[in-house]
Every structure is written in structure tokens, then in C-alpha cells.
Amino acid sequence: MINVGFVGINADISEAIYIHTISHYMKMKFLPIAIFAGLLFLKCPAYAQDKSAKLKALFDTLYLDQNFNGCVLVAEEGKPVFMKAYGYADQEKKRLLDTKSVFELASISKQFTAMAIMQLKEKGLLSYEDALQKFFPGLPYKGVTIRNLLTHTSGIPEFLGFGSKDIDVNKNNFNQDIIDRFQSKIAPAQFAPGTSTAYSNTNYLLLASIVEKVSGMTFSNYMKKNVFLPAGMDHTKVYSRLSTAEKISNYASDYVWDASENSYVKTDDQPAHMTNILDGVNGPYGISSNVEDLFKWDQALYTTKLVSAVTLKDAFLPTKLIGSKGVASLSPEMPLGFGWVIRTDSLESKDMFHTGGFGGYTSLIVRYTLEKRTIILLCNYSNMTGVYELMTAVTAVLDGEQPSIPKKTVRMKSIRVAAAELKGFEGTYFFENYPDYNMQVRAEGNHLFARLTNQGEFAIYPESNDTFFYTVVEAKIKFSEDKISKQKRLTLFQNGKEIQMSQKKK
């Protein structure tokens, strides 16, 4: 598969951007002296107060620099050290966030979906080795098991890249809509099941639908009865805000940076945004919660409230790949568990995390189980300090170090380009020597949108008459035309690389 360096511009932008850097940081973090010193400091109440004061100073600065809008909870030894809300839940109504404000969790939802599967396995209602085709005979992915879905080793393609040729973009799509598409229009598997790893939200969409088939309950009702309520999570639910009349009174709306308006706007108000057409999907995302409930979830994982210790252990064990000494992993140091990215450096120490991103929401939960430390971040504004940088700063405080204050985010502003000129950039641009990969560009009013194969469609904004930039990732696109052949061309700039594409000659 071609690696164009242009990955993760979808509901899981957080995973793509932060996965490597978090794994590198966590690998370096756990020196024996640092652990020993941290445990000593925990015995000193004055030091705990100092941590709280430093964390407050850190997030106060971030908020004043317009680098953070959301809720944070940091805990040690089962007790919150710092918990606070910053900024707006609804900027139009000037409604402020509080620590009970409810956010879309994005990919943090996966660990809850995995828990439901673990419960059904513990009850003997399914096996991790059950074939996907046992539940969905019409799907073409022979040999894929539930374990493959849990650990992203199925090879099933990502549905978040679906466009108008794949699904109805004029409605809100649900799990069955996506499954129907895979059954009617076969998308080839990326590799044989269990032989490699490719993060795909489709895996957890299928798992949620399996929960419904096996339990005979809706995914929402199952999760409420068997996961949320037993864990004491009274403010957590499966929730699709665009596909239900139900409204959550303390819900945090999400906002994205609109470079053409030089302001934040509600994600739902953006034309053709994927959150408008895929909001009805459950499993890979679609669970809403707050920092207080997520801390209850963290604490429940130290107990047998939800499943036995033996079953829970499965969630945190690496899965070996077939025909390889390796394990299911997104980086060498960070194997994949069931809904978690995990790290094991000894029999006594295990650390895990997961990030999430959907529309303007970004989220992070980190568990350092040896020290019983927890970091929870829920944010509802895009283009602010990334959750990895926040995690690094918070962990520095917990380690008794001086945190590095992230630089103030620069938000780009676009120029105006006439709608007629934008129309001239429309078309499908192909990679030379890779005909299966392309960039589709289209204009709608005064906006231009670009969609790379197997990824979502996103707005690109003009910084000049021929060069456009993304706001969801650091990348630019420059349009040009061959002077002789008049063939339209496109150059993608990202990560220090230039990738050439061109339209086919008519």
C-alpha cells in the first residue's frame, strides 16, 4: 500500500498524530529512580497541594493563551489531584463548561465497546475466535475473528473514507448502512487476518453490532445496563446528537476553526462535514461522558465490578501476529489491547492510553497503573494545544518537574477567492504509478473541499490564488497547470514531503 504520509485526517486524527510521540515519551518515562521518588512524594500532603497548584497554573496559562477549552481531571492513588473546567460549552449562548459537562468521547468509546464483548465472552455467549461471518454471513471477509476486530488485525478497510459513491451523504448513516455497503460493494481486505495491523474504525462498528445480535438488546441499552450503571457512570450514554430528539442539558458543543471567517464555528454548521453523515454510528465512537464518570471507569478497572480479573487481563495482553514474532501494534513499543494502546515493561508495571478525535472534539485517557495515576482530558475546540503536549506537561508536574508551557497556537486565516475560480480546481487528481489512489477536489459555494482515497472530505482554505491549507492537519495543496499540455496538477505538501498528482487527460 502506498504511504503518502497523509494519514489520520478522520475521526481518529488524535491516534495518527499522537501515537508515536506518546509511545516514545512513555518509553523514556519510567526510570526506577523516578518511580521511587514519585512514591515517596505521594506520602506528603504538602507535595500533593503543590501539584494541584502547579496544574492549576499550567491550565490557567493555557486557557488565557487560548490553547485549551475543555475539562481536565488528574488523579493519583484513587483521588483527584486536580479537576477543573475551562471555557465555553456553548459559545453562542455563553454557557460555560463545568466538570459535569458531557462530551463526545470519540475513539475512547472503543474501550467500552470492547468491555461489552468481554462480558459476553465471559458469559459464554461468544468466543474471541468466533468468525465474523457467523454474525454477518454476507460480509466477504473470510477468516476474520472477533479477536481480529478487537486488535485491528482484521484487514477490513476504514469506512470513514466513504464518500457519495459509497453511502447516502444526504442523510445520517447508521451501523447497518455501513454494513450494507460492505456487503453490496466489496472492498478488498488489506491483508490476511491476523498477519498485520491497520487501525480501522470499521472493526469496532462491527463489534457494536455483534453486541446487539448476541445480547438481543440495542447497543445503547446494553451499555447502560451492563457497563455504565454498574461502574457508577450516571452521566454516560450512547448518544448520537443528530439522530435523536433527546437533548443532554449539560452537553458541550464542538467547534472547529473556520479560516475563512477567522473564528470558531459549530462543526454541525460546516457544509459536508463527515460528522453530519456518520453521527449515527456506534462502537468506534458515539459514547458521551464527562471527566468525573471517566474517572469512575478508571477506578472500576481496578476491580471486578464489570468482569473477572482473568477476563480483564485479556484486554491488556498483546496479540501475537500470525507467521511473525511481532504483536498487533501501531508502534514497536505500544502493542494493542482490546480498545487500549498498552505498554508493558515488567510483570509489575503496565500503562495504557487511548486518544480520540471527532469533529471539534479531542480526548485522552492515560492510566499509569503502578502509581495509580490517571490523566483525563476532554476538549471541544479544534486547533488548540494537542493532547500529547498536554499529557507531557501534566506528567512532568506529577513527576515533580517543571512543565514546559506549550507555545501559543497560530490559527491561519484565509484570503477570499471567487467561487468561479474555485470551480476551476475541481476534479480527480491521481498519483503517478498508483492509480488506485487519488485526491478528489470539489467546490461548494465559496468553499473548496479535498478528499484523499480512504479518508474523509475536509475543507481547504486559500492562502493565495493557487495554494490552500488544511486546518485539521499541517498540510498544504498547490494547484498548477502544465503550460504545454494544459494538464491540471496538484502538489501536496506535508511532513517535509512533496507529492505530485495530476488529472487524467481527456
Query: For 205-260, how does the pLDDT look when each residue is reduced to its tens digit (9 = 90+)?
Result: 999 999 999 999 999 999 999 999 999 999 999 999 888 889 999 999 999 999 98
Can you give the pLDDT at residue 241?
87
Can you give the pLDDT at residue 272?
56
Q: What is the mean pLDDT of the chain?
A: 87
CATH number for the domain spanning 181: value is 3.40.710.10
Can you give the pLDDT at residue 11?
36
Contact 377, 390 (CB under 8 A): yes
What is the per-residue DSSP string for 335-386? Answer: EB-SSSEEEESSSS-EEEEEEEEETTEEEEEEEETTTTEEEEEEE-BSSSS-
Boundary (domain end) residue, out of 348, 363, 398: 398
The number of helix segments (H) and strand segments (E) in the chain equals 14, 23
Gap between the Cα atoms of 293 and 178, Å rounded:
30
Domain assignment present for residue 408? The answer is no
Gap between the Cα atoms of 431 and 372, Å rounded:
48
Can you give the pLDDT at residue 344?
66
Same domain for 185 and 102:
yes
Same domain for 107 and 36:
yes
Domain assignment present for residue 404? The answer is no
Gap between the Cα atoms of 277 and 498, Å rounded:
31
408 or 470: which carries more pLDDT confidence? 470
Domain assignment present for residue 21? The answer is yes
Gap between the Cα atoms of 436 and 432, Å rounded:
10
Q: Position of cell 465472552?
A: 121
Query: For 361-384, how does the pLDDT look when each residue is reduced to its tens digit (9 = 90+)?
Result: 999 999 999 889 999 999 999 989
Burial category of 191 from C-beta neighbours within 10 Å (exposed 0-12, middle 13-18, buried 19 and up): middle
Same domain for 463 and 350:
no
Same domain for 196 and 123:
yes
Same domain for 451 and 350:
no
Domain assignment present for residue 409? The answer is no
Domain assignment present for residue 318? The answer is yes
Query: For 337-367, how does the pLDDT look when each residue is reduced to its tens digit (9 = 90+)?
Result: 999 998 766 545 578 999 999 999 999 999 9
Domain that holds residue 67: 13-398
Q: What is the mean pLDDT of residues 435-462?
A: 88
Angle subtended by helix axes 32-42 and 45-64, to nearest 10: 110
Same domain for 293 and 192:
yes
* Nearest alpha-carbon partner for 297 in 23, 122, 89, 73: 73
3 pLDDT more than 60: no
Domain assignment present for residue 101? The answer is yes
Same domain for 239 and 92:
yes
Query: For 11-28, how does the pLDDT look when each residue is reduced to its tens digit (9 = 90+)?
Result: 333 333 333 333 333 433
Same domain for 325 and 197:
yes
pTM, 2 dp: 0.85
| Long-range contacts formed by 447-454: CB under 8 A, 24+ apart | 447/260, 447/271, 447/422, 448/422, 449/272, 450/477, 451/161, 451/163, 452/4, 452/6, 452/9, 452/161, 453/161, 454/157, 454/158, 454/161
Active site residues: 107
Contact 329, 152 (CB under 8 A): no
Q: Considering its fold, how many domains does the chain have in total? A: 2
Same domain for 366 and 336:
yes
Q: What is the mean pLDDT of residues 450-469?
A: 90
Same domain for 436 and 383:
no
Same domain for 453 and 387:
no
Domain assignment present for residue 4? The answer is no
CB neighbour burial string for 125-159, b if at least 16 within 10 angstroms, e if fewer: ebebebbbeebbeebebeebbbbbbbbbbbbbbbb
What is the per-residue DSSP string for 150-182? Answer: HTT-S-PPPGGG--TTTS-TTS--BHHHHHHHH
Domain assignment present for residue 266? The answer is yes
- pLDDT class for 474, splitting at 50, 70, 90? confident
What is the per-residue DSSP string for 207-261? Answer: HHHHHHHHHSS-HHHHHIIIIITTTT-TT-EE--TTS-S---TTB---EEEETTT
Same domain for 175 and 69:
yes
Can you give the pLDDT at residue 38?
28
Can you give the pLDDT at residue 23?
38
Least confident residue range of 112-116, 290-294, 326-330: 326-330
Boundary (domain end) residue, out of 366, 398, 430: 398
CATH number for the domain spanning 453: value is 2.40.128
